[in-house]
């Protein structure tokens, strides 16, 4: 009889180095208020896409519900109807861009672009205007460069409080949110080097929590149905458990127990397997970070006092 323990491999030193010390870019969220009347709803996605392109062009990660935002509104400078048949709407708008801390309302920098759009309706005229936004415009680079410096200053000045927040999240088992906070710190910040060691610690704690939860579910599934169906259910619960987890010895013990029982009951060789996952540390960390971001977003409210 052979016992097959398909599992993930341990974090190697090279992979761990890449995982922890890769450069982290500043993250911002393109944001337009839902109740903004200055921008037609039909034209918002066009503008949001352009805003995302502007961030990407300037080495800023387009995030979701980030602390820092790129906010936009539009001011009509001129509105006319053409003398053509059919008549068209001609709009000249000032497109106002703002970058700042969307949580505390601190504005970092602003920039305005004047654009003209023509269309069969107000919405189509705005869409035509927004399509003319050039993400590669050098003016955006200067506008965002100043904002990025202020984001770095924010993390430099709040490093201790961020670590305190991470510790609180760890104590309450909210490892995904803790990882999100740690991996949001840009490498340009002096806080970056102080927090990278914590990523490995929090990541390992998340693995232990995941292992304990999956092992408990697998054990319950097997106890409820000590047969081929229960073995199948147990295998599903054990899928993806990291072999570096402290509770992995329990996984091995349960595996052996299932195999022994199945061999005795079916009087034949039985190999207990679960899904093999190897070398997925980066993907797992990204997944945990995404979960943390979504949880943090549930309590995220943006404010813009004086952003106009």
From first to last of its 308 residues, what are the pLDDT tens digits of the chain? 333 333 333 343 334 434 444 457 899 999 988 767 789 989 999 999 999 999 999 999 888 778 899 999 999 999 999 999 999 999 999 999 999 998 888 999 999 999 999 999 999 999 999 999 999 999 999 999 999 999 999 999 999 999 999 999 999 999 888 888 888 889 899 999 888 788 888 888 888 998 999 999 999 999 999 998 998 899 888 887 877 788 889 988 998 898 888 888 765 666 666 554 444 555 666 666 666 566 555 556 777 656 77
Take residue 106 and report the two structure tokens written for it. Answer: 């601190």
| 54 and 7 housed in the same domain | no
Sign of CA dihedral 90, 94, 100, 105: negative
> How confident is the model at residue 293, as a pLDDT?
60
Q: Are residues 62 and 19 in the same domain?
A: no
Q: What is the largest CA-CA distance in the chain?
A: 90
pLDDT for the residue numbered 77 = 95
Q: Can you tell me the distance from the alpha carbon of 104 to that of 85, in angstroms, rounded to the nearest whole number? A: 50
207 in a structural domain: yes
pLDDT at 114: 96
161 occurs within a structural domain: no
Provide the CA 252 distance to its chain's centre, in angstroms: 34
The answer to the question of residue 188 being in a domain is: no
- In the sheet with 89-101, reading across from the earlier edge strand, the strands are 61-62, 27-31, 68-81, 89-101, 106-119
For residue 215, what pLDDT is reported? 93
Assess whether 123 and 203 both reside in one domain. Answer: no
User: Based on the domain organization, do 100 and 141 belong to the same domain?
Assistant: yes
Is residue 9 domain-shared with residue 63, that is, in the same domain?
no
Indicate whether 70 and 142 sit together in one domain. Answer: yes
Q: What is the pLDDT of residue 20?
A: 45
CATH code of the domain containing 112: 3.30.160
DSSP structural state of residue 121: S
What angle (nearest 5°) sits at the alpha carbon of residue 14, between those of residues 9 and 16? 65
The answer to whether residue 214 is domain-embedded is yes
The total number of structural domains in the chain stands at: 2
Q: Are residues 60 and 144 in the same domain?
A: yes
> Based on the domain organization, do 74 and 124 belong to the same domain?
yes
d(CA 221, CA 163): 39
Q: For residue 242, what are the domain limits? A: 1-23+197-277
pTM listed for this prediction: 0.72
Beta bridge partners of 118: 90
């Amino acid at each position: 009889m052979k016992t097959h323990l398909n599992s993930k491999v341990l974090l190697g030193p090279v992979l761990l180095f890449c995982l922890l010390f890769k450069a982290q870019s500043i993250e911002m969220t393109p944001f337009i208020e839902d109740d903004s009347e200055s921008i037609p709803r039909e034209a918002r996605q066009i503008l949001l896409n352009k805003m995302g392109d502007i961030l990407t062009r300037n080495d800023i990660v387009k995030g979701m519900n980030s602390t820092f935002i790129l906010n936009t509104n539009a001011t009509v400078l001129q509105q006319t109807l053409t003398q053509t048949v059919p008549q068209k709407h001609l709009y000249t708008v000032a497109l106002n861009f703002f970058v700042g801390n969307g949580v505390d309302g601190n504005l970092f920098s602003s920039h305005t672009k004047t654009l003209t759009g023509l269309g069969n309706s107000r919405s189509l005229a705005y869409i035509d205007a927004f399509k003319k936004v050039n993400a590669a415009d050098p003016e955006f680079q200067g506008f965002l460069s100043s904002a990025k410096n202020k984001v770095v200053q924010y993390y430099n000045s709040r490093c201790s409080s961020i670590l305190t927040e991470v510790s609180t999240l760890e104590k309450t088992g909210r490892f995904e949110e803790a990882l999100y906070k740690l991996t949001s710190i840009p490498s340009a910040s002096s806080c970056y080097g102080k927090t990278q060691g914590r990523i490995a610690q929090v990541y390992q704690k998340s693995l232990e929590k995941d292992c304990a939860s999956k092992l408990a579910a697998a054990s319950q599934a097997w106890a409820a149905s000590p047969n081929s169906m229960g073995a199948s259910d147990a295998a599903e619960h054990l899928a993806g458990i990291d072999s570096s987890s402290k509770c992995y010895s329990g996984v091995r013990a349960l595996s052996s127990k299932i195999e022994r029982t199945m061999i005795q009951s079916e009087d034949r060789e039985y190999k207990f397997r679960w899904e093999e996952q190897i070398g997925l540390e980066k993907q797992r960390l990204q997944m945990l970070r995404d979960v943390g971001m979504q949880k943090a977003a549930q309590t995220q409210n943006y404010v813009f006092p004086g952003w106009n």
